Amino acid sequence: MSHQPLSCILSPDLLHKLALDTTAKHRSTILNTLELDQSFRLRRAELAARQVVRPLGSMSAGVGGSPNRSIYDQRHSTENAPGTLVRKEGQGPVKDVSINQAYDGFGFTYKLYWDIFHRDSIDDQGMPIEGLVHYGDAYDNAFWDGAGHMFFGDGDGQLLTDTTKGLDVIGHELTHGVTQHEANLTYSGQSGALNESLSDVFGSLVKQYHLKQTAAKADWLIGKDIVGPQLAPALRSMKAPGTANQYDDQPADMDHYVHTSKDNGGVHTNSGIPNHAFYVTATTLGGKAWMAPGNIWYDTLLDSKVTPRTTFTLFAAVTLRHARSRYGTTSKEAQAVQAGWNAVKVRAR
């Protein structure tokens, strides 16, 4: 075993200077050290970024297979700390429908992840699932805060309505937490669009699994149940990106990739490309999209090659590798994944 004693003791700048002032043999050693050192530093940064803060009081170790949900009522404030605890795990329904929808939606989301992917909550270690409803005044949004909380606004009735009504939306937000714990995709550019796409993919699968819909039967719309008249009929379409509503400008392939500084480099726009690749994969195979397509995408999300700055091309290659290793090189599953990426003009090999 070869040790690299210089790693992480000397700074990269100093190692670069040493490499310039030494013999060819030593230069090679120093450059190897630099390479190792850089990969170690990157790995360390990635691991640090993956350390999601668990909500307070969350350290109870439960048995896998059952969620640990808490719903808080923010009572229209924009306070970012959890408000009044209004329903916790095991308690029955309350009068407020938003609270029940959030509770049930988290349950259905947990169930897909546990039943199909054997994942125990957001962090795969039984992390409590905390939803904050009635956030803000007519607030047109739902979001993941990066610290273990999902926020749900009531909408203004024009753009959005009560965001807890969308099971795919609840699955979408919780999946942002899963992604943060796994690939930790940087929320910008192509990696950000992949982050968004994974939330749409698994959000859609949560809904399909709950409704027992096949890929052919599903509508592949995102946010259909929460849009108001201005954004009807949906926020996004995985089947036909760019057609979900009058403002939808999602591209369906790389020829129409949108280069923009808006929305962190168009993360909600260019997600249409990997979204459509998943749709084509699932409908080419037919049957239940949460089975082979879902497992291939989930394996990819957990693959250590998928790092924070992953591009569409790398992600596509890893999905194809998992399809081949799980089902066979010439399997119909691998061919369907290839067809999916071909359809959006992303090279997968």
Catalytically annotated residues: 173, 268
- The per-residue DSSP string of 113-165 comes to HHHHH---STTSS---EEEEEEESSS---EEE-SSSEEEEE---SSSB--GGG
Which of the stretches 4-12, 155-163, 290-298, 336-344 binds other proteins when contact is defined by CB under 8 A?
155-163
Give dist(CA 298, CA 282) in Å, integer. Answer: 14
Give dist(CA 279, CA 238) in Å, integer. Answer: 6
Comparing CB distances to other proteins, the nearer of 180 and 190 is: 180
* 168 binds other proteins per the rule CB under 8 A: no
Residues 128 and 54 sit within 8 Å (Cβ to Cβ): yes
* 338 binds other proteins per the rule CB under 8 A: no
Comparing CB distances to other proteins, the nearer of 89 and 124 is: 124
* 267 binds other proteins per the rule CB under 8 A: yes
* 157 binds other proteins per the rule CB under 8 A: no
* 147 binds other proteins per the rule CB under 8 A: yes
Give dist(CA 311, CA 194) in Å, integer. Answer: 8
Among 180, 197, 284, 310, binds other proteins (CB under 8 A): 180
Q: Closest distance between other proteins and the C-beta of residue 269, in Å? A: 6
* 188 binds other proteins per the rule CB under 8 A: no
Would you state the structure tokens that stand for residue 65, as one six-digit string?
Answer: 């297979």
Give dist(CA 277, CA 174) in Å, integer. Answer: 22
> 241: phi > 0 → left, psi -120 to 50 → alpha, else beta; which?
beta
* 237 binds other proteins per the rule CB under 8 A: no
Give dist(CA 12, CA 312) in Å, integer. Answer: 30
Among 9, 14, 49, 232, binds other proteins (CB under 8 A): 49
Comparing CB distances to other proteins, the nearer of 48 and 61 is: 48
Q: Closest distance between other proteins and the C-beta of residue 195, in Å? A: 7
Give dist(CA 119, CA 89) in Å, integer. Answer: 18
* 310 binds other proteins per the rule CB under 8 A: no
* 119 binds other proteins per the rule CB under 8 A: no
Q: Which burial class, exposed, middle or buried, applies to 193 when counting CB atoms under 10 A from its CB (0-12, 13-18, 19+)?
A: buried
Q: Closest distance between other proteins and the C-beta of residue 32, in Å? A: 31
* 70 binds other proteins per the rule CB under 8 A: no
The four Cα atoms 299, 302, 305, 309 give a dihedral, to 10 degrees, of: 120
Q: Which residues bind other proteins (CB under 8 A)?
A: 49, 52-53, 78, 80, 137, 140-147, 156, 159-160, 163, 169, 172-173, 176, 180, 184, 187, 195-196, 199, 223, 230-231, 235, 247, 249, 262-264, 266-269
